[in-house]
Structure 1
Amino acid sequence: MDVRSISTFGAVAAEDEPVLNYFVETSAVSEIGEGEKFLVLGRKGSGKTALVRYFNEKKQNGLVSIALNLRGYPWALHAKRSDSDVDESERYEASWRYLIVVEFAQLVAKRLTGLSKWTDEAKNLIEFFSQNYGGLDVGLGDFLRPEKLRLTKASFEPQLLGVKLGGITLERKSEQGGLARELNLLSDLILKNALYLCGREGIEKILIHFDELDQGMLRFDSPRQQMLTGLILATRSVNREAAKNSVKLKSVIYLRTDLWNQINFSDKNKITTTSVLDISWDEASLLKVVNSRVNSITGKNWDAIHDATTMRGRQQKFSYIVARTFLRPRDVISYLNILLSKAKERINTKGGATVFTNKDIVDSKREYSTYLRLELHDEISPHWREWEDALKAISKMGLLSFARISFEQRYPQAVTAGNVYTSEQALETLYEYSVLGAYRASGYGGKKWVYRYSEPGEAWDSSGNLFKVHLGLKEHLALKE
């Protein structure tokens, strides 16, 4: 085998085919499509978008699936559509519920055929869209853009306390409440009409996927947390209402685990228990993805493209690579692409084995380490912009593992203007994102290094005294063992 015949191991994005194929072989697809799961959690690069791609590309009879990409979504505009009359966690539930319902209604209205177009339900929907949006081609970011929704006898006229609403003002001052009540009445009428038409047209199921909710987010502040909470509550509400009908309407949210961990509201534990699908990987499942990719390119598997020697400590090559990742397909693919480049360079200039060698893998570590730091920056900076101050302190210490007291001495010297994190907060945040592992009891009388990415149930312990930097960052920070 000559690895120079491989052009690339593919894009690092989680949308690639081998990741998608892996999910099809698991219960993930059925749990989303048929089960109770509507909140898909996973770390960045874990494969959430691959699931969205599956539903949008694999055509099934009676299924309509649409992905709502929130890249460029007008969050600032949506922030003005809150209701001060309700609890903070519910301030955006009505606006998201309305958005989901009108997206669903638009999908149905576009697919009407034959006599369905002439029913009162169809006429009501079409007139509503015509009056407020100029037709049936409304982008996701435009549903909440009007300052006021017009309501007429020809479209919908919900009644509030026996009085017909001639319109609903969306943009209200903070002291003006009541938006949720009015908007929910309108959403109920639209949903009822759309569900009737959906059944009439023989559409058995509609899936609406909310993906890339973190795109363009500089800070995950309280208003954004409230908006995501509202989306989650609205999704649960609409899914429950639709489940009472023969038509299956389901919204599915794909969210980074760290964002979910930052959100707090009363029903969070209940949703976690019943409605969350957590995407997790181990070495065996990652090897399946790699073998699928290698087989599609060469007709062989991973074992055919490296020599038989083990790494230092008799560790297998793939295990050595995986130990430097966060158990994500994106990390493994990134490492393999760097490895491929290093091996080709070595073969073309010096000759030798035409498969991956130990030296190729070692020579790839520095470039991969820089990649991993950049990935972490995308995840951590919305929560803590000055997080790299802590990296500088660790780099100055120069050791892969260190005692708390050493960090507490170095960290204040690295703190830049605007950084309000104490050394304790810094250590906790680095642990939460698996930059650091903690040395703690293993449960069998011994101790081991614990990382959050591989053992998510192991919460932060403020009494911990020994920490170890993730192996993937060793070269970037120039650390010694």
Structure 2
Amino acid sequence: MNELTPISQISFGTTDGKNEARNPNFESLFYDGGGYYRKLKEDPLKFLVIGRKGTGKTILVRYFQKILLKERNVCSKFIVAGDFTNEKLNNFDYMKVREEEREIFWRYVILKELASLVLKNESGFLNKKHISQLRNVDSDITLNLEQLIQENNESLGGSVDLKNTSIEAKESIKNISTYATGKYFNKIGELTESLMNVMKKAKKRYFLFFDDLDEIKLGSIQSNDGESSVIVLAKLLNDFVTALAYVNDKLLDIDSGSRIISTLRKDVAEQMQFYGNNINKIITDNGINITWFSTLIKSNPQQSDLGKLIIHKIKASVEEYKSIDDKKLFDIIFVRPRKKSNPFKFIVERGFGRPRDVIKYLDIVQDTFLDERRISYSMVRQVQSEYCSWFYSELRNEINILENSKSIVKTIDLIKKNGKVIFNYDGLTARRKLDEQEFTDIIDLKMDLKSLFILGAIGNHKKLKNNNPIIEYSYRDGANNPDFSNNFVVHQALRNYLSIGE
């Protein structure tokens, strides 16, 4: 190899999994260092892909779908649930109907999508009778949601508010013919039975994928008094996951080889634990938990899965680099100056140990230094501020889902005003008292610091006698609770954004 390729020619990927999946080289760029694809492919019990934002949930399920479609007799559909459910939820007084009705609603959503996919792709004399029956049931059950709500209200005794229903819809409701069963629940059962009868005989396998569940517009859902958006979302997704488990159990019972798969944000999954008796069991038994944590991130990030991911993408992008030893190629691309940190380690330290952070940083480097052929320490330092602004926006997105989000943001303002990279709880409390009127929105400082610790925005800092401190971050060291007897340290990227030190 005589000449290096400009770094602008390397495809590190994008921060949005949907966009990365559109890359013509998506399959060659995909890296399965953690074996998550293998688990999803080989274990029919796995139907939840769980992980923090930016860990690659969407990329994993998109890759799985792409490989599936290469097989014969496989049909699939990818559903961005935020877009898919908004119209329905706008008309469904979700939080006012009984809990069992809400799960039935989600069964309806899932079964209808699966039935539509099956009817579109199934034919054949042997299955003709069951297909005809399924088509009749599917047509019969296709009600608009005003009708669905009305039947729920009459047959299940739910409390439903139809005061905002249009005059035309109300007239339509009056003319509904009563089902022989008299209950929407039984009609869902009939749809399930008819669908499974078809799928027992079907030669094809069917896969539905739900993604971006956390992007459902909660403003369209009327919450109970005093409930925050995170509580509403946790309850809603609790119902969805319970219904998802129900449908997947039915598919397993008939040995169909089909599955309904969904992504789920880790922080949302943790909130869901408070609102469902069996949800932890489902998440544990049926979930794949994506994490990129490695002790190598501290000392040798190039040997961690994140480092291997980037080397994989570099080799997949440049033909001439494929034959070069990984370590040698890493040292060629990431130039380490004397007495300075490796530029890749510098990048990793300013993220949360996620692919999204590293890829965004490298994208900024590429856009700034188009003609450069290597990535230096000086280059990554020059673009640090631009990256850290993006990092804070990402952090705010994760904070917004928390019940104490407004208080947390104000606590970040307090940390900025405190002006110290390393601080303790008592010192921050004293600083708050100096400007008490400015920080009245802080409801519980201890709770806010715990939330920021779990997010990784701050870590624990313990100074030892040899002056070599132990620094512990939740995303890196697996800790779930901060030690308030020790100091706290502000994350590298956040301290840069807040201008409180290097």
TM-score tier (shorter): 0.7 to 0.9
* Structure 1 equivalent of residue 231 of structure 2: 222
Return the match for 2:244 from 225, 235, 240: 235
Number of residue equivalences:
435
Pick closer, same or farther for the CA change 1:78–1:67 going to 2, 3 Å: farther
Pick closer, same or farther for the CA change 1:50–1:10 going to 2, 3 Å: closer
* Structure 2 equivalent of residue 3 of structure 1: 6
* Structure 1 equivalent of residue 377 of structure 2: 358
Q: Which runs of 5+ in 2 are unaligned?
A: 21-25, 163-181, 219-227, 295-300, 322-328
State the one-letter code of the partner of 1:328.
R
Give runs of aligned pairs for residues 330-341 of structure 1, distance below 5 A.
Answer: 330-341=356-367
Aligned-residue offset at 1:415: 7.4
Return the match for 1:80 from 65, 90, 93: 93
Pick closer, same or farther for the CA change 1:365–1:144 going to 2, 3 Å: farther
Partner Cα separation in structure 1 for residue 229 and residue 97 of structure 2: 21
Pick closer, same or farther for the CA change 1:436–1:462 going to 2, 3 Å: same
* Structure 1 equivalent of residue 172 of structure 2: none
Give the conservation status (yes or no) of the 8 Å contact 1:37–1:274. yes
Question: Deviations for 1:151-197, whole angstroms, at most 9, x for unmatched residues?
Answer: xxxxxxxxxxxxxx999869942599xxxx94443222212221222
Query: Secondary structure in 2 aligned to 1:479?
Result: coil
Runs ≥4 in structure 1, deviation > 6 angstroms? 165-171, 414-418
Query: Secondary structure in 2 aligned to 1:254?
Result: strand
Pick closer, same or farther for the CA change 1:464–1:94 going to 2, 3 Å: farther
Aligned-residue offset at 1:39: 1.9
Aligned-residue offset at 1:132: 4.7
Aligned-residue offset at 1:6: 2.7
Partner Cα separation in structure 2 for residue 295 and residue 224 of structure 1: 41
| Farther-moved stretch of structure 1 (91-100 vs 357-366) | 91-100
Question: Deviations for 1:383-426, whole angstroms, at most 9, x for unmatched residues?
Answer: 21453322221122222211112222334648769935321122
State the one-letter code of the partner of 1:430.
L
1:42 aligned onto 2:42: no
* Structure 1 equivalent of residue 207 of structure 2: 207
* Structure 2 equivalent of residue 194 of structure 1: 195
Pick closer, same or farther for the CA change 1:175–1:363 going to 2, 3 Å: closer
Give runs of aligned pairs for residues 17-166 of structure 1, distance below 5 A.
Answer: 17=26, 21-23=30-32, 26-35=34-43, 36-58=45-67, 59=69, 60-72=71-83, 73-74=85-86, 76-77=89-90, 80-81=93-94, 92-115=102-125, 118-119=128-129, 121-133=130-142, 145-148=145-148
Partner Cα separation in structure 2 for residue 369 and residue 463 of structure 1: 27
Give the superposed CA RMSD.
3.4
Pick closer, same or farther for the CA change 1:389–1:379 going to 2, 3 Å: same
1:320 aligned onto 2:346: yes
Pick closer, same or farther for the CA change 1:381–1:149 going to 2, 3 Å: closer
Partner Cα separation in structure 1 for residue 345 and residue 500 of structure 2: 21
* Structure 2 equivalent of residue 390 of structure 1: 411
Aligned-residue offset at 1:254: 0.8
Question: Deviations for 1:87-120, whole angstroms, at most 9, x for unmatched residues?
Answer: xxx552222122222221111111122325741x
Return the match for 2:279 from 261, 268, 271: 268
1:296 aligned onto 2:316: yes
Pick closer, same or farther for the CA change 1:452–1:123 going to 2, 3 Å: same
Partner Cα separation in structure 1 for residue 397 and residue 383 of structure 2: 22
Aligned-residue offset at 1:128: 3.2
State the one-letter code of the partner of 1:206.
Y
Query: Secondary structure in 2 aligned to 1:9?
Result: coil
Give the conservation status (yes or no) of the 8 Å contact 1:339–1:360. yes
| Farther-moved stretch of structure 1 (322-331 vs 266-275) | 266-275
Give the conservation status (yes or no) of the 8 Å contact 2:93–2:161. no
Give the conservation status (yes or no) of the 8 Å contact 1:309–1:358. yes
* Structure 2 equivalent of residue 253 of structure 1: 262
Partner Cα separation in structure 1 for residue 199 and residue 305 of structure 2: 39
Partner Cα separation in structure 2 for residue 102 and residue 168 of structure 1: 22
Partner Cα separation in structure 1 for residue 476 and residue 89 of structure 2: 36
Partner Cα separation in structure 1 for residue 361 and residue 264 of structure 2: 25
What is the TM-score with the length of structure 1 in the denominator?
0.80
Partner Cα separation in structure 2 for residue 370 and residue 454 of structure 1: 22
Partner Cα separation in structure 2 for residue 417 and residue 19 of structure 1: 51
* Structure 1 equivalent of residue 159 of structure 2: 173
Aligned-residue offset at 1:334: 0.8
Query: Secondary structure in 2 aligned to 1:65?
Result: strand
Which structure shows the bigger proportion of residues in helix conformation?
2
Query: Secondary structure in 2 aligned to 1:437?
Result: strand
Give the conservation status (yes or no) of the 8 Å contact 1:20–1:54. no
Query: Secondary structure in 1 aligned to 2:415?
Result: helix
Return the match for 2:477 from 416, 433, 455: 455
Q: Which runs of 5+ in 1 are unaligned?
A: 134-142, 151-164, 348-353
Pick closer, same or farther for the CA change 1:343–1:233 going to 2, 3 Å: same
Question: Deviations for 1:246-283, whole angstroms, at most 9, x for unmatched residues?
Answer: 31332222111111111122223323432221101144
* Structure 1 equivalent of residue 173 of structure 2: none
Return the match for 2:17 from 9, 14, 17: 14
Partner Cα separation in structure 2 for residue 241 and residue 2 of structure 1: 53
